[in-house]
């Protein structure tokens, strides 16, 4: 009994730590995105609240918390309330299987815990795909329950778009799964240790440098589909502010609106984490081992691993903003054509080619 | 599709050019915007801001109540009630003068129309109010705006040229500025 409660307490502590990290990242992203977007468009971005607008996320949070919560007339109240919660929860629980740091164990109170991954389940990537698909329900429900034509159109677009691009995400990572031979994100990351040429984006075999199993096409497909799946510009048709007001969350206000927005940023962070773990070696440094290890500080090597993981994730997050600052929105038929006629064949061809090369040049 | 065009398509060449442009804007960041309430841009000399009624240097109003500004105004901002100056039957003045600034489009036609230069456009533009009725200005308010915006009642430099000053009815009695 005491052991069970202790385990529960440790798990809750881990979940709380993980959630606060994600929420801090989301708050940072709301500031960082506006700032970077401003710089790229020769503006300043937020400057009023705090020095250089640093407290803007806090001000936004307070404002959204105290805003009036409007439920439109004729809306399906239960669904209307459910949709933002569903989106938010789903975007947060995906992080459970993401390994932030090395696969080490700590012994606390006679228990063995993994500090840098909340749940090291052996079907990690499958779990993320399943959870991410549920996120689409939140968007569709929110669009449908609002009793507004713009919301409904946004929800319909989201349904078609998320499903088509979810397929490409799933097919793009099959090559990586073939190489790693496992579905666990921890083991996939560990299989890429020992220098950047072992990352699955290059796919060098453990006994050589030659990138025979390169997954760079899968990587490109994954990144583009991830942008589409998180409904970001240039694939932001579900919220298309110039056509559909705000798409599926047109009728939402206050905290529910904040839920949708933070879910979007959390989803961005999630796909960035997955991209970093699958293709860019996760917490592995681009050189073999770690500098701290060579300096004789083996106990602190995990710090370097975490810094590398954060650097990769933030690179992807910056890429999201960078793309947003550059590209205009696609037309709907272009979006569908691109997803089904370009991305899908590339992903399928990548699976075939990876399988063939893996058959003739197996990884040891 | 030529081979070059195909290469450009599969390597996302055009997108990369665009992303290079946005990145170079961020790296050579120089803001074109101002932190408005804290820093304000310098306004041009011929800025057409808030309208005002002017006085002569001795403090008497320039306005002779001729109604030409009211006739010139395309938005019917101005309403003049003209009257004789008491005791001087040859002279008239604006007994009441109203400007409904909610309708003004700052075209400056009234200023052009005024034969005695009794109207002026100041550089004030921060006239947002909570109550719309505060923008229906009467003569005293318009004169006050003129007093604080034109403490020295001299013509603008380009209007002091002799050729232009010939039409400058209001300053006929003043000696011309040496050019």
**What is the ipTM for the molecules in this complex?**
0.75
Residues of B in contact with A43 (CB under 8 A): 31-33
C-alpha closest to that of A135 among A172, A94, A98: A94
pLDDT band at A317 (very low <50, low <70, confident <90, very high): very high
- The residue extents of the domains of chain A are 2-360
- Residue B53: beta bridge partners? B119
- In whole numbers, what is the pLDDT of chain A averaged over residues? 86
- How confident is the model at residue A51, as a pLDDT? 87
More confident residue, B151 or A105: A105
How far off is chain A from B6, nearest CA to CA, in Å?
Answer: 14
How far off is chain A from B83, nearest CA to CA, in Å?
Answer: 52
Q: What is the pLDDT of residues A189-230, one digit of tens each?
A: 888 887 787 788 887 776 666 777 888 889 999 999 989 888
Among candidates B25, B26, B33 on the partner chain, residue whose Cβ is nearest the Cβ of A44? B33
Distance (Å, rounded) from C-alpha A179 to C-alpha A181? 6
**H or E stretch covering B89:** strand B88-100
- How confident is the model at residue A364, as a pLDDT? 64
Neighbours of A250 (CB within 10 A): 23
- Among B13, B24, B26, most A C-beta atoms within 10 A, so best to mutate, is B26
**H or E stretch covering B17:** helix B13-27
Among candidates B15, B26, B30 on the partner chain, residue whose Cβ is nearest the Cβ of A36? B26
Q: Is the pLDDT of residue A4 over 60?
A: yes
- How confident is the model at residue B171, as a pLDDT? 46
Please identify every stretch of chain B with a pLDDT value under 50, giving residue numbers as ranges.
168-172
Query: For chain B, how many residues are written?
Result: 179
**φ, ψ for residue B58 (rounded to 5)?**
-85, 5
Residue of chain B with shortest Cα separation from A52: B35
- How confident is the model at residue A311, as a pLDDT? 92
Q: Is the pLDDT of residue A349 over 90?
A: yes
Distance (Å, rounded) from C-alpha A267 to C-alpha A275? 12
* Contact at CB, B15 and A47, closer than 8 angstroms: no
- How confident is the model at residue B175, as a pLDDT? 53
- How confident is the model at residue B168, as a pLDDT? 47
How far off is chain B from A325, nearest CA to CA, in Å?
Answer: 7
C-alpha closest to that of A187 among A231, A126, A122, A284: A122
Cβ proximity of B147 and B124 under 8 Å: no
Residue of chain A with shortest Cα separation from B20: A326
* Contact at CB, B22 and A325, closer than 8 angstroms: yes
More confident residue, B84 or A316: A316
* Contact at CB, B33 and A325, closer than 8 angstroms: no
- Of chain A, the end-to-end C-alpha distance in Å amounts to 45
C-alpha closest to that of B147 among B24, B57, B77, B32: B57
Residues of A in contact with B26 (CB under 8 A): 36, 39-40
Among candidates B19, B29, B30 on the partner chain, residue whose Cβ is nearest the Cβ of A322? B19
Residue of chain B with shortest Cα separation from A221: B10
What DSSP state is assigned to residue A328? P
Residues of A in contact with B18 (CB under 8 A): 326-327
C-alpha closest to that of A57 among A361, A262, A291: A262
Considering only residues 306 to 325 of chain A, which have any Cβ-Cβ distance to chain B shorter than 8 Å?
A: 322-323, 325
C-alpha closest to that of A271 among A135, A73, A177, A114: A135
Distance (Å, rounded) from C-alpha A223 to C-alpha A342? 14
B151 exposed, middle or buried (CB, 10 Å; 0-12, 13-18, 19+)?
exposed
Among candidates A43, A44, A322 on the partner chain, residue whose Cβ is nearest the Cβ of B22? A322
Q: Count how many pairs of residues, chain A against chain B, have C-beta atoms within 8 Å.
A: 34
pLDDT band at A345 (very low <50, low <70, confident <90, very high): very high
How far off is chain B from A308, nearest CA to CA, in Å?
Answer: 23
- Among A53, A326, A334, most B C-beta atoms within 10 A, so best to mutate, is A326
Angstrom CA distances, A178 to A130, A186, A191, A272, stand at 19, 15, 12, 21
* Contact at CB, A327 and B18, closer than 8 angstroms: yes
* Contact at CB, A39 and B29, closer than 8 angstroms: yes
Residue of chain B with shortest Cα separation from A36: B26
Residues of A in contact with B22 (CB under 8 A): 40, 322, 325-326
Q: What is the pLDDT of residues A121-137, one digit of tens each?
A: 888 889 988 888 888 88
- How confident is the model at residue B37, as a pLDDT? 85
Distance (Å, rounded) from C-alpha A157 to C-alpha A241? 13
A145: which 2 tokens?
A: 């329950």
C-alpha closest to that of B53 among B136, B165, B150, B124: B150
C-alpha of B22 from chain center: 37
- Among A38, A42, A324, most B C-beta atoms within 10 A, so best to mutate, is A42
* Contact at CB, A40 and B31, closer than 8 angstroms: no
- How confident is the model at residue B85, as a pLDDT? 80
Domain B51-148: top CATH class: alpha beta
- Among A53, A325, A346, most B C-beta atoms within 10 A, so best to mutate, is A325
Span of A62-71, A265-274, B161-170 with lowest mean pLDDT: B161-170
pLDDT band at A313 (very low <50, low <70, confident <90, very high): very high
Span of A211-215, A269-273, A348-352, B65-69 with lowest mean pLDDT: A211-215
């Amino acid at each position: 009994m005491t052991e069970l409660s202790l385990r529960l307490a440790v798990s809750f502590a881990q979940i709380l730590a993980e959630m606060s990290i994600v929420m801090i990242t989301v708050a940072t992203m709301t500031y960082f995105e506006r700032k970077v977007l401003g710089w790229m468009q020769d503006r300043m971005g937020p400057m009023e609240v705090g020095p250089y607008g640093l407290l803007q996320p806090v001000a936004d949070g307070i404002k959204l918390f105290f805003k009036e919560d409007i439920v439109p007339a004729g809306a399906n109240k239960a669904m209307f309330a459910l949709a933002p919660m569903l989106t938010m929860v789903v975007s947060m629980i995906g992080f459970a299987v993401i390994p932030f740091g090395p696969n080490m164990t700590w012994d606390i109170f006679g228990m063995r815990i993994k500090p840098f991954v909340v749940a090291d389940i052996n079907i990690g990537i499958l779990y993320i795909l399943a959870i991410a698909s549920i996120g689409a329900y939140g968007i569709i429900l929110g669009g449908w329950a609002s009793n507004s034509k713009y919301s409904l159109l946004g929800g319909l677009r989201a349904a078609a778009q998320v499903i088509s691009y979810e397929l490409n995400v799933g097919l793009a990572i099959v090559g990586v799964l073939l190489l790693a031979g496992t579905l666990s994100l921890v083991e996939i990351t560990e299989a890429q240790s020992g220098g950047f040429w072992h990352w699955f984006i290059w796919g060098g075999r453990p006994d050589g440098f030659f990138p025979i199993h390169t997954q760079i096409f899968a990587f490109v497909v994954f990144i583009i589909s991830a942008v589409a799946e998180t409904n970001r510009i240039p694939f932001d048709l579900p919220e298309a502010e110039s056509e559909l007001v705000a798409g599926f969350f047109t009728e939402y206000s206050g905290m529910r609106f904040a839920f949708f927005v933070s879910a979007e940023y959390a989803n961005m962070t999630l796909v960035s984490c997955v991209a970093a773990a699958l293709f860019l070696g996760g917490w592995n440094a681009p050189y073999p081992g770690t500098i701290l290890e060579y300096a004789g500080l083996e106990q602190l090597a995990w710090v370097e691993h975490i810094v590398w993981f954060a650097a990769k994730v933030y690179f992807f997050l910056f890429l999201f903003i960078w793309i947003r600052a550059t590209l205009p929105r696609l037309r709907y038929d272009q979006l569908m054509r691109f997803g089904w006629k370009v991305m899908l064949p590339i992903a399928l061809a990548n699976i075939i080619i990876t399988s063939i090369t893996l058959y003739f040049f197996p990884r040891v | 599709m030529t081979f070059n065009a195909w290469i450009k398509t599969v390597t996302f060449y055009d997108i990369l050019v665009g992303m290079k442009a946005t990145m170079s804007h961020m790296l050579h960041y120089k803001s074109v915007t101002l932190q408005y309430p804290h820093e304000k841009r310098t306004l041009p000399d011929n800025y057409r801001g808030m309208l005002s009624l002017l006085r002569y240097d001795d403090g008497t109003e320039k306005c002779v109540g001729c109604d030409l500004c009211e006739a010139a105004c395309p938005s019917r901002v101005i309403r003049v009630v003209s009257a004789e100056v008491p005791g001087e039957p040859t002279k008239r003045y604006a007994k009441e003068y109203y400007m409904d600034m909610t309708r003004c489009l700052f075209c400056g036609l009234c200023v052009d129309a005024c034969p005695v230069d009794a109207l002026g456009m100041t550089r004030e533009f921060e006239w947002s109010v909570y109550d719309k009725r505060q923008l229906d200005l009467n003569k005293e308010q318009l004169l006050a705006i003129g007093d604080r915006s034109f403490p020295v009642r001299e013509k603008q430099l380009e209007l002091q040229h002799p050729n232009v000053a010939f039409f400058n009815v209001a300053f006929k009695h003043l000696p011309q500025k040496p050019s």
